[in-house]
Amino acid sequence: MIVRFVQSCRLPTPFGVFDMHGFEEVATGKEHVVLSLGIVDDGEPVLARTHSECLTGDALFSMRCDCGYQLEEALRCIALEGRGLLMYLRQEGRGIGLLNKIKAYRLQDQGADTVEANVRLGFAADLRDYSMCKDMLEHLGVGAIRLMTNNPRKVDALQMLGISVTERVPLQVGRNPHNEGYLDTKRAKLGHWLATHQDDDPI
């Protein structure tokens, strides 16, 4: 067991009233939450997103990334469908932490791209771990998901954990002059399914 369930409650949002489920990592005490809407344990694939914490984008409205835009769009899509879930994972900055993320941003200010910045700080390009997702989904009775993501590595990681991903749902939103280089780097160096312009088809 990677995480243990702690408690659930109702969470009203501008997108609808979700159920919020709290989980704690057994080994580290790190806390994660899942927001669910509607019936998700009926055996049908569930529209879902795994969203790694991005304080700057999710809470401080940063335009340097597309994280906040993706968070809002995922919740909107779940609400429109009437059922689904969002796993909010506490792994800031693709796993390097908030203060190291600020250091990485400083290197980007000086000309490095998002991958080069992490490497210069001594980290891999992406340190995120999705192992807690399996326990969360099993607790909620979810057997298969339709995953909202542009990241092929995320699909592969979840499938390697034994999670059935029946469909990859694109989530391309929020491209702006401040994050174009960031998005283009994710496409070129990390293989993300992203178009070069917001209205183009992802490649």
Domain-embedded: residue 13: no
Domain-embedded: residue 21: no
Tokens 């990681």 correspond to what residue? 157
Domain-embedded: residue 177: yes
* Global pTM value: 0.91
Which residues are designated catalytic? 126, 128
Domain-embedded: residue 74: yes
Is there a binding annotation on residue 54? Answer: yes
Is there a binding annotation on residue 187? Answer: no
Is there a binding annotation on residue 154? Answer: yes
Is there a binding annotation on residue 73? Answer: no
Rounded Cα–Cα distance for residues 48 and 119 (Å)? 30
Q: Which of 20, 52, 19, 190 is nearest to 132 (CA)?
A: 52
Domain-embedded: residue 120: no
Domain total for the chain?
1
Q: Is 174 left (phi over 0), alpha (psi -120 to 50) or beta?
A: left
Domain-embedded: residue 99: no
Q: One digit per residue, pLDDT tens: the chain, 203 residues?
A: 899 999 999 999 999 999 999 999 999 999 999 999 999 999 999 999 999 999 999 999 999 999 999 999 999 999 999 999 999 999 998 889 999 999 999 999 999 998 999 999 999 888 889 999 999 999 999 999 999 999 988 999 999 999 999 999 999 999 999 999 888 888 887 778 777 654 444 44
**Residue 137 is part of a domain; what is its CATH number?**
3.40.50.10990
| Residue-number span of the structural domain to which 43 is assigned | 36-90+127-188
Domain-embedded: residue 180: yes
